[in-house]
Each structure stands twice: as C-alpha cells, then as structure tokens.
Structure 1
Amino acid sequence: MNTDKNRVFKPEKLFAPRNFKCPQIKPNQYLEIGTGKGMHAMQFAQENPDKNLIAIERTRVKFDVFAARTAELELNNLLPVHADAIPWVVHGIAPSSLDGIFLLYPNPEPKNASQRWLNMPFFEFLLSRLKPLSPLVLATNIQEYADEAEEQAKQLWGLNVERVNVPQDSARTHFEVKYLARGETCHQLNMVKPKEYRTHFDDWVAPNNTQS
C-alpha cells in the first residue's frame, strides 16, 4: 500500500475525457491499457468469446488502425477506446468490476521512473477497480523494469506475483514479435490482487459513473 501522503492519487481532480461516455461494464470484463494497433486485444477477443475487453490507446494513428480492424472483424466483445487511460479509468470503471488487466510492453519511461505504472499513485486506484483474486499482467523486454516492477508489486503494493519468461513463439503484440525475433528475453509478471485487499478508493465512484 502506498503510504507516501505527498503522492496520494486524487481522482476527484481529474476531468472526464472530452465526449466521454460511461461504458457498459459487462460480465467477465477485462481492461488493456496501451493496446497500440490492437494485436493482442483482437486475439484475446477472438479466442475468448465469453470474455469482454476494453482496450485503450492514446496515440491517434495507432488507435485508428486498431478501430478500423476491429470493425472489420465485428468483434462485439471488444471496445476500442481512444483516450488517456488515467482519466478514462477514473470516470469509466467502478470499483471491483474488472476480471483482469493487461499492461503489455508499456513505455519504460527511462527519463522519468516515477511515471512507470507501479511507481505511480494511480496504480492503487487501478487495483481498486480489479476484483479480488483477479490478475494484472505486465510484460516487458527490459530486465531492470521487470526487476523494479516485481519489487514494487511485492513490497509496496502487497500483491502475489509470479514471474515467468514469455515463450519464444508468443506473438501478442508487434513489440513482442520484434523482441523475441531478436533473441531477447521478455519478462512477464502475473500479479494477483489478494482476497481481502484494501485501497483508499474501494468506495470511490465518479459522479457520472452509472455502473455502481
């Protein structure tokens, strides 16, 4: 749990994204942040028709490719979202409503380590949106990033963590394909929110969220 009072996340300070519409949170609801051109998101939706995925991408060019391809495939269990993930999650996701979260090959933020996901106060809020005993999966090709994230997950956030190497034949994202083709090791952290886990945001719901 984050005990640095100077860095406590303040969701009430964030405005909803422009033209925001509160999503319908469905059964077996998953979230992917930083989906890029949607390679993993589309694979996940196709392979898991009983599960629903919201996939967020901030970059317009990548999102347009992703959204067009999703429309062609007519994937009714996949919702592409063009937005900054932090305010969108704050206003769009109710507490304990997600069955899983994917953070696949996030920006390592080499010049600003405080902006890495597990170093951000927002990470506590993100955990509050996850159901107990549900997974949060992070993958990276950078060992130092994985080492730091694993330490933070265990020591700061109190999560159960399994660390594995991504199989050489995995092809979930364009980055993953490239890294594995170069012979790099890709690290994956399978983090699980404990059953009795508590955050400061377990009862916090945005005023415009109708899912609660």
Structure 2
Amino acid sequence: MIDETVIFEKMNETSLSHQQQRAFQPEKLSAPRDFSKPSILLSKDADSMPIIIEIGAGKGKHALSFAAAHPNKHLIAIERTRNKFEAFTKQAELKNLANLNPIHADAIAWIVHAIAPKSIAKMYILYPNPEQHNPNQQWLNMPFFEFLLSRLQDGGEIILATNIEAYMDNAEEQAKAVWQLPILRQTVASDSQRTHFEVKYLARNETCWELTMRKPEGYHTRFDDWVATS
C-alpha cells in the first residue's frame, strides 16, 4: 500500500524555494518564561507600520538609534543575556520611544511563538557570536533560518553584519546555494557606529562586512502557514 503522507511530504519538498533538507521543528519549542506579545503585534497598527526585528540587540545601541531615526517603523529588539538587556532597558526607559519594544528572551523560541507568517519587513542580525567551533549554530547553517524566512514579507530583507571574513564567506555561500536568495555583500563604512562591537572593530581598522538578503516574491517554505497554538 502506498503511504499518502510520504507522497504529500515529497510533493511539498519539491515545491520549496530553497535547498535545505533538514526541517526545523517549531512545535517542540515552549514559549519563553513570562511570554507575551507586544501590542504592535496585536493591533491594527501592525498593518500600516512596518515591523522590524533585531536579533541579539546587546545593550541596545543600534535599536535606540534606529527607533529614534525611524518613528514610522516599529522595532522589536531581542536580547538573551540578562546584564546586556538590563543596560538596554535603562537607556530605553530614558529615551521613552513608543516604537521600540525591548524583549528579554531567546530569539528562536520568542519568534516561533510571537511572530506571524509574512509579517516582518526587515531583520537585523548584527555581529552575532561566530560559533567558530560549532558552525551548525551559525544563523544561515541552521534549519531555523527557514522559519525566519517564513516570517519575512515578500521583498523583505535580512541584514547580517560581521567582522569575521570566514563567517561572511560562509553566509554568502549558504544564502546563494542553500537558501536561493538574492544578496548584496558590501563592506561597512569606516564611520559606521551601529553597535558597540562595530565601533570597536572599525576603531582597530578591521574590515566589517554586511550581507543583505532579500526574500523574493512567491518564496515558499514549510512554515508559510504555521502559527503557534499557545
């Protein structure tokens, strides 16, 4: 007897817009402690105000400057490390920016439970931990990257920045060969000051790279209709 479930899964695989074989399993992730969605994700404003995500916001240097410079965009900035997040929130309270939501959580679990498909206009991943001894934890090597793409609007962008050339080389190759994304790789301007890491690296005359990845119209993932039930 032919297993119709297997046939359906194979048909679904062939219609994907990428070459990633391993599937992420969002249903296995519990919501973060004290989980709640920012009001922007529950309100009608989300339909008119572009929502931006920053993963690994650190002490909030980029998040605070971005939100201040773009009052017509709403930034959700996620940081997992407690001491960095506390420093971030102190500054955020002083600035009192209505279009900024600092989130203390693991970004993967939080995004799985909070973000709807095709709802994000842009994502920033600025100077992530390079995980040189564990390359499977680099963002574009993870099956979770497919889930990230499912949350991005058609035409939306993911911007990755790093000072490690090998990390950027791998990210560029993965973006093209595995994720089938249009990309733009460029060096970061020497006077850029988006994050504390960026300021430090550029002050040491290191080269920093930025990779912009755009989600094409009609891009298909396994999670285009997946929504957390909790």
User: Normalised by the shorter chain, which TM-score bucket?
Assistant: over 0.9
1:17 aligns with 2:32: yes
Partner of 1:65: 87
In the alignment, the residues of structure 1 paired with residue 33 and residue 205 of structure 2 have an alpha-carbon distance, to the nearest angstrom, of 42
Q: Which of 57, 64, 74 is equivalent to 1:35?
A: 57
Matching of residues 200-211 of structure 1 within 5 Å = 200-208=222-230
Counting aligned pairs with the same residue, the percent is 57
Contact 1:2 1:8 in 2 (8 A): no
Q: Which of 77, 88, 97 is equivalent to 2:99?
A: 77
1:99 aligns with 2:121: yes
Cα shift at 1:22: 2.2
Larger radius of gyration: 2
* Alignment deviations for residues 59-91 of structure 1 (CA, whole Å, 9 cap, x no partner): 000000001110110111000000000000000
SS of residue matched to 2:120: coil
In the alignment, the residues of structure 1 paired with residue 74 and residue 194 of structure 2 have an alpha-carbon distance, to the nearest angstrom, of 17
* Alignment deviations for residues 94-140 of structure 1 (CA, whole Å, 9 cap, x no partner): 00000000000000001100000000000000010000011110000
Q: Which of 42, 49, 52 is equivalent to 2:71?
A: 49
Partner of 1:141: 163
Contact 2:58 2:84 in 1 (8 A): yes
In the alignment, the residues of structure 2 paired with residue 21 and residue 164 of structure 1 have an alpha-carbon distance, to the nearest angstrom, of 37
Cα shift at 1:2: 4.2
1:160 aligns with 2:175: no
Paired residue type of 1:126: L
Paired residue type of 1:160: P
Runs of 4+ that moved beyond 4 A? none
In the alignment, the residues of structure 1 paired with residue 34 and residue 203 of structure 2 have an alpha-carbon distance, to the nearest angstrom, of 40
Contiguous gaps of at least 5 residues in structure 1: none
In the alignment, the residues of structure 2 paired with residue 113 and residue 159 of structure 1 have an alpha-carbon distance, to the nearest angstrom, of 20
1:190 aligns with 2:212: yes
Partner of 1:150: 172
SS of residue matched to 2:98: coil
1:118 aligns with 2:133: no
In the alignment, the residues of structure 2 paired with residue 105 and residue 162 of structure 1 have an alpha-carbon distance, to the nearest angstrom, of 17
Contact 2:155 2:215 in 1 (8 A): yes
1:173 aligns with 2:173: no
* Alignment deviations for residues 188-209 of structure 1 (CA, whole Å, 9 cap, x no partner): 001100011010000000113x
Deviates more, 1:145-154 or 1:23-32: 23-32
Question: RMSD value over aligned CA atoms?
Answer: 0.8
In the alignment, the residues of structure 2 paired with residue 184 and residue 19 of structure 1 have an alpha-carbon distance, to the nearest angstrom, of 40
Give TM-score scaled by structure 1 length.
Answer: 0.95
